[in-house]
Structure 1
Amino acid sequence: MRPLAARLPRENFPYGKGGEPGDVPGGSMSDPFARLRRLRASEALRTLVRETTLDAADLVYPIFVTEGQGIRREVPSMPGVFQLTVDRLPYEAEELLQLGIRAVILFGVLPPERKDERGSGAYDPDGIVQRALRELKRTHPELVLIADTCLCEYTSHGHCGLVEDGKVLNDASLPLHAAAALSQVQAGADVVAPSSMMDGVVAAIRSTLNEHGFTDVPILAYSVKYASAFYGPFRDAAQSAPAFGDRRTYQMDPANAREALREAEADVAQGADLLMVKPALAYLDVIRLLRERFPHPLVAYNVSGEYSMVKAAARLGWLDERRTVREILLGIRRAGADLIITYHAKDVARWLKDGSFWEG
């Protein structure tokens, strides 16, 4: 018997590959009359059948808190991102809430003379992040406060743990991370986020929080954190670059994906409540792996280098910033992320609010 297309009048399939006899209408053997463009004909239809959505409430905004008064200092390598003093935080929080952003993650910025070998600023009850947490909890209690829990922003050597003979010590560093998490929760953190990639850090923090009665405080584990070139602008913002070597002995090798499952499994077993993949854009496959394996809320960190690349290209006129950011964030969501930590959060929230996010 002749193929179906050869038996149909030519006018029945003017949209095939040239409309020649033998072509399958719509180009689909399983559905010979499919015309997928029907669902793209208008903005109303495209909105109706859109598979992946994005809302301001899906975004977490990073904030860098620095010492001093009245400071709002732009980070040179991150246009639109600022280091803020504690007294400026209520204004920032008000803006975020008006835009519909409900969560922030806080990072401390200390001058070199305030840093030491043990990173004591991380667990100082009067430390920079602790003061920021108390101020935001007082002025805007409805904002979800996530505290980045690490030592690297506070150590004189810039590493995420104690150092001896040039080696970062894992087990000896765990009590310091636990102390930092406890001080952050006591200051008002709703969530603590250990980011050091020290083995056992989630268990150490969970045990310490439980012992002090904070059994209901969630842990957002930086479960899958790669040793990435995309962190450069962040280290500029947080002034946390290592003084020697790098962090490859404790952050993950970008070549590995199966190892990410082992890292996440270990954190879940130790009491993690949320899991994170960092960076996001080069690791969408890893986000998908975790999404398929774990039911836990999954967070992706759209990191500083990913942000700065877009900003730089947009300033040069090489990319349409809004459309590029839309594709990136939708790709992260489509891969399986429930929440996205991103420096684009305020821009995206504004675009969503004025209706321009989906245009073009």
Structure 2
Amino acid sequence: MKDIQFDRHRRLRTSDTLRSMVRETWLRKEDLIYPLFVVEGENIHKEVSSMPGVFHLSLDGVVKEMTELVNLGIKSIILFGVPKEKDPLGGQAYHDHGIVQEATRLIKSEFPEMVVIADTCLCQYTDHGHCGIIENGQVLNDPTLDLLARTAVSQAKAGADIIAPSNMMDGFVAAIRRGLDEAGFIDTPIMSYAVKYSSSFYGPFRDAAHSSPQFGDRKTYQMDPANRLEALREAESDVNEGADFLIVKPALSYLDIMRDVKDRFPLPVVAYNVSGEYSMIKAAAQNGWVNEKEIVMEKLTSMKRAGADLIITYHAKDAAAWLSN
């Protein structure tokens, strides 16, 4: 054996302290963005059946939820609204007193330091469940852009710190940027769902947001999971149109895409750790098949390692508590 030459990589793994000293990737509480589902009504605190630990909250329960998040050290949330009334044009999305707008005002008045990100889409608000105007069974791109811009402006007026358009219409960032600028919100950043795949991992979210399409699917505007170069084209368009952050959604099955986007564009990259990824781990943990803490932290760290600067995740509260300990 004395004549064999080889490297001693294990020297840097001999203790927890030494392993921490040479750790390349760190997850922080500041990296976590918690999704919040706000609904119209009173005294509503109802768990989403397919997402254990995630709740529909009416406005009268939002302050308590926000207090918990602040105490955990979470500094940013993304708001999704579930309205009572829906119509073909998704009017509640851009109503000045829509559920997201009202929740934003409440949160910013009580917790001014919390960063409020407003999801900007129409699917939760349309009676057909698609992300745009429908004509003859087709989602119309250009007419939808005006409604998205109106939604973004109404959310910014309500106090949203960041606008996060998720609709995947061509030109949506340019339309929203112009709308915000013309309304005087030149300093409001856009966190674009730049790379959003037509994924099977969205099922529990559609249960939570009541946003399943009533006919067809979203494959004509969300991306084919088999495509990689298309993701770079989509991201480049959003960068050129004025995006300030780039979201890759879903995260776990698209870590390669996340790394491509991070290497190619000089903007913060956001991983969306989606509902299906969350629910699978929750189900496995409840059955005792996996160690929830260890697998969640490994998963979130993998997203950071792949290039994510921030992570939208339903695990945020648990992860923040684990990081504190």
Normalised by the size of structure 1, how large is the TM-score?
0.89
Match of 2:276 among 305, 308, 316: 305
| 1:53 paired residue number | 26
* Bigger relative contact order, structure 1 or 2 (CA pairs below 8 A, ≥6 apart): 2
Secondary structure class of the residue paired with 1:147: strand
Secondary structure class of the residue paired with 1:145: strand
Match of 1:150 among 116, 121, 128: 121
| 1:332 paired residue number | 303
2: distance between equivalents of 1:239 and 1:45?
48
| 1:39 paired residue number | 12
| 1:351 paired residue number | 322
Whether 1:251 and 2:222 are equivalent positions in the alignment is yes
Match of 1:196 among 167, 181, 185: 167
Whether 1:214 and 2:185 are equivalent positions in the alignment is yes
| 1:293 paired residue number | 264
Q: By how many angstroms is 1:110 displaced?
A: 2.0
* Cα distance per residue 1:266-305 (max 9 Å; x no partner): 0011110000100000000000000100110000100000
1: distance between equivalents of 2:316 and 2:120?
21
Secondary structure class of the residue paired with 1:107: strand
Letter in 1 for 2:50: S
Matches within 5 A, 1:54-133: 54-111=27-84, 114-133=85-104
2: distance between equivalents of 1:94 and 1:69?
19
Gaps of 5+ in 1: 1-9, 13-20, 26-31, 355-360
Whether 1:269 and 2:236 are equivalent positions in the alignment is no
Taking every aligned residue pair, what percent have the same amino acid on both sides? 61
1: distance between equivalents of 2:323 and 2:191?
27
CA RMSD of aligned residues (A): 0.8
Q: By how many angstroms is 1:317 displaced?
A: 1.0
1: distance between equivalents of 2:127 and 2:289?
39
Gaps of 5+ in 2: none
2: distance between equivalents of 1:139 and 1:258?
44
* Cα distance per residue 1:53-75 (max 9 Å; x no partner): 00111000000000111211100
* Cα distance per residue 1:152-181 (max 9 Å; x no partner): 000000000000110000001000000000
1: distance between equivalents of 2:53 and 2:10?
38
1: distance between equivalents of 2:30 and 2:61?
22
| 2:291 paired residue number | 320
Letter in 1 for 2:253: A
2: distance between equivalents of 1:80 and 1:252?
29
2: distance between equivalents of 1:132 and 1:110?
12
Letter in 2 for 1:247: R
Runs of 4+ in structure 1 off by over 2 angstroms are none
| 1:358 paired residue number | none
| Aligned 8 A contact 1:67 1:128 in 2 | yes
Whether 1:139 and 2:110 are equivalent positions in the alignment is yes
* Cα distance per residue 1:165-206 (max 9 Å; x no partner): 100000010000000000000001000001000001111110
Q: By how many angstroms is 1:234 displaced?
A: 0.1
Letter in 1 for 2:199: S
1: distance between equivalents of 2:65 and 2:268?
26
Letter in 1 for 2:223: M
| Aligned 8 A contact 1:110 1:239 in 2 | no
Secondary structure class of the residue paired with 1:101: coil
Secondary structure class of the residue paired with 1:73: strand
Secondary structure class of the residue paired with 2:185: coil
